[in-house]
């Protein structure tokens, strides 16, 4: 787990604000409607049957037409008799979900108009519901004579599903017109004044949820002038009459599946009667919630590796966010979208991961090979502290003090830049990391941050490359008026602690431990022995292909109690049988 600094927390907060602004803005502008609608559909489907008002459906179905000798549409006289019979049953409200436009015979039309004139709510269509603030009305037969009427239109979303219903619109003359469901609601609650212009329907259940009776036996009772008993199933209920026969084509797709148009109207009315229309919080509340969740997710992505943080974040959404959202929907009819947090998780994680990788690339790209850089880029945790076995190489310029006194600052700077570039190329070529430039000294390490088993051989190969190319480099420097270059190298293998070290404001990748101190001391001892490259016995033993090495004996290292056996490499002397010389 990584430590969190104040600066990193501020960065996470800024990323969270950006992500929250993006997802909230996208949601408010409707770009996420499709996935949000599917998420709400899941809740509506999952909850089972909801609260139901006392609504009863009388279905004009296939059985009805079979009893009528398959005469379609239903004769106006028969429909009038059915409505009169239902009124005699004592319903609380009665609605006819059949649009009456075309005239038939004067007698039949008059009979139906008389039946409808006594408070039955009837529907009509409007056009332009999506394209304009005002709509055109498709007028009914005897439109103005009907006391209670409302438009029956619903709104089809882009996927063809009916999820919402308008309750109030303006016609072409600027007059307020109300929906079929709203007109029925006013019959039950005439005192109501304020209501939203549109609601999201909270479907009580799939097709067949509301008690449904075929119109066929009721038509027979009406034809026989039977007086309904006082305990009939329609007394005190809200009765909707509508077609459910297949040829009517009055079917809609809902989150609960396909149902007839009259059942959809029953659900709209039920939503009004139970005050269960689905509400959405103000965008500012959504934004605040997204900021909170994004900060939390951001902390997880910073403290843990990307995959771990992703699992923890989605786990949190599954065990906390989704249940909380479902509870608010079920208990308070509030829809707090749980898909936006999922999107926020992905965006936050991606942005923080990319920022972390850019930081890693910035820290390492100038002094490691592309292969090592890619490994670190793919796994930033390699920069975390670790104790491991490495080989450390120190190199510095011989006679640098005298050189710095004899050269003007500009030439000295150019000389050092040439030297640093030369050393860096050699180190990177052999999979090493240039860890520090200390004045005229260069510290390189092999085996971190990416582990390799042949780190000792890589360090020695670097030394050989450096020394082999000194002649060519010196010639180039002399052509530019710079002095010839001579260096000393010290190499030691052993355990170190490697990782990011520093304060919250400033950190660097460092390698610390006694191994570093020994390599530095060895480099300085080249002057004492007149050698160019010194390595310890431990490094020599790690080499599979031993270069010429001269045993310099046991040497006391300043600051250490124990002495070390040291070897000189690349001396122009006769080689010993096993790479050792005495």
* pLDDT higher than 90, residue 208: yes
Return the minimum-mean-pLDDT range out of 189-193, 423-427, 548-552. Answer: 189-193
Residue of 215, 220, 251 lying closest to 234 (CA atoms):
215
| Annotated domain spans of the chain | 6-45+280-362, 53-94+102-204+211-258, 368-569
User: Regarding predicted confidence, which is higher, 289 or 159?
Assistant: 159
* pLDDT higher than 80, residue 222: yes
Q: What's the angle, vertex CA 296, arms to CA 294 and CA 301, rounded to 5?
A: 90
Report, as an integer, the average pLDDT of 141-156: 77
Predicted pLDDT of residue 579: 40
| Total length of the chain | 582
Read off the pLDDT of residues 237-296 as tens digits, 9 standing for 90 and up.
999 999 999 888 899 999 999 999 999 999 999 999 999 999 988 878 878 887 888 788
**What is the pLDDT confidence band of residue 448, given thresholds at 50, 70 and 90?**
confident
Predicted pLDDT of residue 291: 81
Cβ contacts of 452 within 8 Å, gap of 6 or more: 431, 446, 458
**For the residues of 131-165, what is the DSSP string, one character each?**
T-SEEEEEPPTTGGG-SSEEE---EE-TTSBEEEE
Taking a C-beta distance cutoff of 8 angstroms, is the pair 158, 189 a contact? no
Return the minimum-mean-pLDDT range out of 178-192, 379-393, 512-526. Answer: 379-393
Write out the two tokens for 36.
């949000």
**What is the pLDDT confidence band of residue 576, given thresholds at 50, 70 and 90?**
very low
Read off the pLDDT of residues 106-125 as tens digits, 9 standing for 90 and up.
888 888 888 887 778 888 77
Predicted pLDDT of residue 6: 67
Residue of 401, 392, 402, 444 lying closest to 420 (CA atoms):
444
Predicted pLDDT of residue 243: 93
Looking at domain 368-569, its CATH superfamily turns out to be Nucleotide cyclase, GGDEF domain (3.30.70.1230)
> pLDDT over 90 for what percent of the chain?
41
Total-model pTM? 0.64
Whole-number average pLDDT of the chain: 84
Residues 167, 170, 176, 178: what is their CA dihedral angle, to the nearest 10 degrees? -30
Report, as an integer, the average pLDDT of 498-506: 72
Predicted pLDDT of residue 190: 87
**What is the pLDDT confidence band of residue 68, given thresholds at 50, 70 and 90?**
confident
Taking a C-beta distance cutoff of 8 angstroms, is the pair 67, 204 a contact? no
Predicted pLDDT of residue 582: 33
For residues 53 and 236, what is the distance between their CA atoms, to the nearest angstrom?
11
Return the minimum-mean-pLDDT range out of 207-211, 264-268, 554-558. Answer: 554-558
Hey, which of 97-101, 312-316, 323-327, 481-485 has the most confident mean pLDDT?
A: 323-327
* pLDDT higher than 90, residue 213: yes
**What is the pLDDT confidence band of residue 414, given thresholds at 50, 70 and 90?**
confident
Report, as an integer, the average pLDDT of 507-523: 89
Residue listed under structure tokens 């599979």: 544
Predicted pLDDT of residue 375: 64
Report, as an integer, the average pLDDT of 479-489: 83
Taking a C-beta distance cutoff of 8 angstroms, is the pair 566, 555 a contact? yes
- Using the 8-state DSSP alphabet, how is residue 576 labeled? P
Using DSSP, state whether 118 is helix, strand or coil. coil
* pLDDT higher than 80, residue 136: no
* pLDDT higher than 70, residue 489: yes
User: Regarding predicted confidence, which is higher, 129 or 238?
Assistant: 238
């Amino acid at each position: 787990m990584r430590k969190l600094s104040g600066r990193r927390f501020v960065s996470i907060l800024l990323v969270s604000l950006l992500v929250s602004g993006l997802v909230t803005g996208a949601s408010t502008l409707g770009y996420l409607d499709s996935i949000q609608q599917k998420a709400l559909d899941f809740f509506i489907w999952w909850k089972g049957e909801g609260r139901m008002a006392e609504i009863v459906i009388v279905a004009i179905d296939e059985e009805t037409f079979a009893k009528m000798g398959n005469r379609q549409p239903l004769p106006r006289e028969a429909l009038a008799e059915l409505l009169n019979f239902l009124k005699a049953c004592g319903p609380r409200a009665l609605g006819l979900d059949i649009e009456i436009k075309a005239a038939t015979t004067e007698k039949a039309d008059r009979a139906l108009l008389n039946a409808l004139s006594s408070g039955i709510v009837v529907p009509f269509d409007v056009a332009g519901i999506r394209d304009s603030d005002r709509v055109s009305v498709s007028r009914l037969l005897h439109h103005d004579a009907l006391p209670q009427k409302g438009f029956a239109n619903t709104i089809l979303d882009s996927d063809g599903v009916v999820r919402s219903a308008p309750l109030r619109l303006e016609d072409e003359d600027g007059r307020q017109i109300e929906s079929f469901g709203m007109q029925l609601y006013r019959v039950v609650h005439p005192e109501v004044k304020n209501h939203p212009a549109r609601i999201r329907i909270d479907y009580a259940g799939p097709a067949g949820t509301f008690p449904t009776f075929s119109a066929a036996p009721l038509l027979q009772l009406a034809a026989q002038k039977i007086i309904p008993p006082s305990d009939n199933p329609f007394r005190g209920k809200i009765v909707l009459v509508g077609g459910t026969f297949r040829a009517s084509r009055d079917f809609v797709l809902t989150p609960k599946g396909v149902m007839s148009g009259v059942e959809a109207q029953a659900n709209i009315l039920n939503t009004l009667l139970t005050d269960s229309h689905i509400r959405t919080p103000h965008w500012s509340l959504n934004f605040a919630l997204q900021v909170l969740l994004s900060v939390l997710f951001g902390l997880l992505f910073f403290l843990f590796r990307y995959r771990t943080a992703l699992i923890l974040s989605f786990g949190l959404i599954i065990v906390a966010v989704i249940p909380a959202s479902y509870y608010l929907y079920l208990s308070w009819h509030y829809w707090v979208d749980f898909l936006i947090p999922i999107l926020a998780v992905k965006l936050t994680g991606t942005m923080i991961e990319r920022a972390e990788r850019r930081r890693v690339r910035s820290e390492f790209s100038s002094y490691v090979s592309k292969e090592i850089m890619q490994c670190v880029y793919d796994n930033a945790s390699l920069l975390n502290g670790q104790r491991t076995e490495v080989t450390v190489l120190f190199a510095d310029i011989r006679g640098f003090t005298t050189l710095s006194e004899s050269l003007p600052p500009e030439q000295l700077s150019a000389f050092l830049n040439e030297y640093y570039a030369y050393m860096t190329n050699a180190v990177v070529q052999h999979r090493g990391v240039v860890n520090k430039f200390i004045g005229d000294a260069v510290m390189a390490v092999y085996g971190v941050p990416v582990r390799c088993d042949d780190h000792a051989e890589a360090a020695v190969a670097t030394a050989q490359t450096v020394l082999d190319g000194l002649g060519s480099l010196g010639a180039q420097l002399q052509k530019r008026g710079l002095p010839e270059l001579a260096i000393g190298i010290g190499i030691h293998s052993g355990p170190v602690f490697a990782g990011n070290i520093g304060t919250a404001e400033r950190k660097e990748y460092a390698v610390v431990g006694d191994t570093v101190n020994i390599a530095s001391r060895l480099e300085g001892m080249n002057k004492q022995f007149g050698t160019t490259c010194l390595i310890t016995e431990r490094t020599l033993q790690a080499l599979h292909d031993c270069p010429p090495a001269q045993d310099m004996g046991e040497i006391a290292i300043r600051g250490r109690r124990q002495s070390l056996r040291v070897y000189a490499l690349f001396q122009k002397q006769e080689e010993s049988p096993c790479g050792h010389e005495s």
